Amino acid sequence: MYVRNCWYVAGWDRDFPAGVPTPVTLLDEPLVFYRQSDGTITALEDRCCHRLAPLSHGQIEGNDLRCMYHGLRFAPSGTCNEIPGHTAIPKAMKVRSYPVVERYSVIWIWMGDAAKVEESLIPDFVGVDDPRWHMLPGRMDYEVNYELIQDNLLDLSHIAYVHRNSFGGGRADTNKAWAEAQLCITPLERGVRVERWMKNAPTPPHQVALAGPVCDVLTSFDYLVPGIFLLTSANYLPGAAERSGAERPTETPVFSSFTAQAVTPLTRRSTCYFFCFGPSARTPGAADLKQAFLELGERVFNEDRRMLQAQQRIIDADPSRRMVLFDVDKAPMLYRRLVERLLKEEAAGAAAA
């Protein structure tokens, strides 16, 4: 059900303060994160091996985490290194420890086979500390299976309908441009790339000051395993699409913005949606625009959430119903096929081991 040998975003780095164990459920597994004395982030199974009490109710002691039910103490490796009043420690007394890395303003966790951990598989994320963009961290929980968010992001034609009054500014011509744009869809080794030229597209009211009234807009995103979405939107002077032909334009955009997002399954029916979104650092007054972009993101993703949660309820009312897919679903289908291949490979790897 989940690809496991990959890096998931567990949260923004700032969501894990020192001194307190932080419980997080990921892929239906209860985890506890804490920071060692030097700040190193650590993740253990949130379940003491003794009586299955949550370690997140425990106490950090130096680099270790002590269960506060009967006092067993665990090292970052998951090994129990103290049982109060006992000198012998049974060998079975250990909990699972997960590989974690702090990078690009987020915490990455490897949910699969620790023997296969490979740091190079961490996607080239762009976090809120990247100097090229001005962005603030956002998050939103959806009561849906992660696949619904994935399908939603991989087909942006929904912007013309779900976001007609937010991104679309309530303008029929803007929304028509979204619904009818030509796409260039490319499979990547661990994802799918979608590029979309909207020519002579009217700018939504709230961006006219930044981008001018009409532009050629190139939006281009990569959706990468296991749910990393990186999108650049660049507004060019009209005619830029013609001028650049099949190539990426070489001219400087009038305005550009960027969003990085991560779709992390919490459980079968709940998913965490991390996002940051903001203007290019070259935009005049970019730093002051951060908050407005965060709020636009929250408004827009709330529109998605409302639709997707309703969709999930309809699906659950009769799980036997199949979707009827067609052209518009090419990118979501490519990505699903990639996931199915990875799942098959992991199952084969596990069977061979």
User: What is the distance, to the nearest Å, from the Cα of residue 144 to the centroid of all Cα atoms in its chain?
Assistant: 14
**H or E, element range at 208:** helix 208-211
Identify which of residues 293 and 301 has a Cβ nearer to a second copy in the complex.
301
Peptide bond between residue 226 and the one before it cis (omega within 30 degrees of 0) = yes
Counting contacts by CB under 8 A, is residue 170 touching a second copy? no
Amino acid making up residue 204: P
Token pair of 194 as six digits: 């979608």
User: What is the distance, to the nearest Å, from the Cα of residue 45 to the centroid of all Cα atoms in its chain?
Assistant: 22
Counting contacts by CB under 8 A, is residue 281 touching a second copy? no
Counting contacts by CB under 8 A, is residue 30 touching a second copy? yes
Question: Given candidates 180, 251, 340, 345, which one binds a second copy under the rule CB under 8 A?
Answer: 180
Helix, strand, or coil (residue 217): strand
Instruction: Write the interaction track for a second copy spanning residues 102-141; mark x where CB under 8 A is met and - where it is not.
Output: ----------------------------------------
C-alpha Rg value of the chain to the nearest Å: 23
Counting contacts by CB under 8 A, is residue 64 touching a second copy? no
* Selection from 129, 96, 121 nearest residue 12 by Cα: 129
Amino acid making up residue 203: T
Question: Given candidates 102, 311, 330, 333, which one binds a second copy under the rule CB under 8 A?
Answer: 311
Residue 266 CB, shortest distance to a second copy, in Å, is 12
* Selection from 276, 268, 181, 270 nearest residue 228 by Cα: 276
Q: How many residues bind a second copy (CB under 8 A)?
A: 52
Contact 317, 178 (CB under 8 A): no
Counting contacts by CB under 8 A, is residue 310 touching a second copy? yes
Counting contacts by CB under 8 A, is residue 101 touching a second copy? no
Counting contacts by CB under 8 A, is residue 60 touching a second copy? no
Q: Which residues bind a second copy (CB under 8 A)?
A: 25, 28-30, 46-47, 49-54, 57, 67-71, 83-86, 90, 92-93, 151, 155, 157-158, 160-162, 164, 176, 179-180, 306-307, 310-311, 313-315, 317-318, 321, 323-328
